[in-house]
Amino acid sequence: MAVKGVYYPRRILPKWDSLTNDKDKLAYFEKIINSKKVSTGFERLVGKNLCEKTLEAIIIHHPEAVDLIKGEDILDNCVQKFSKYDHGRTFLKQFKLKNDLTA
């Protein structure tokens, strides 16, 4: 997820590396995805038109994975995060999620 000159995940990567099993890693991923708050890393990546590099892009690319993740309105939450930015809205249009965009 690190992108030279754009974003280095100082908080996420050390935590992720410290987790030893897949169950803990999935729980941490769920925590990040379920957060309604836009992270600094997400904001920087989308601002540089690197939407594909965000964790939320996984949900947009694979909406069928939402059934495997604990949480409510995960896809809507990810769409809302992207819809706050011009590059994010363009990214969503590629996946025909225009209906969920908010200005």
**pLDDT digits 0-9 by tens, 46-87:** 999 999 999 899 999 998 888 888 888 899 999 999 999 999
**Of 97 and 93, the one with more pLDDT:** 93
The pLDDT value given to residue 17: 83
| Cβ neighbours of residue 91 closer than 8 Å, sequence gap 6 or more | 46, 51, 52, 57, 60, 82
pTM (predicted TM-score): 0.77
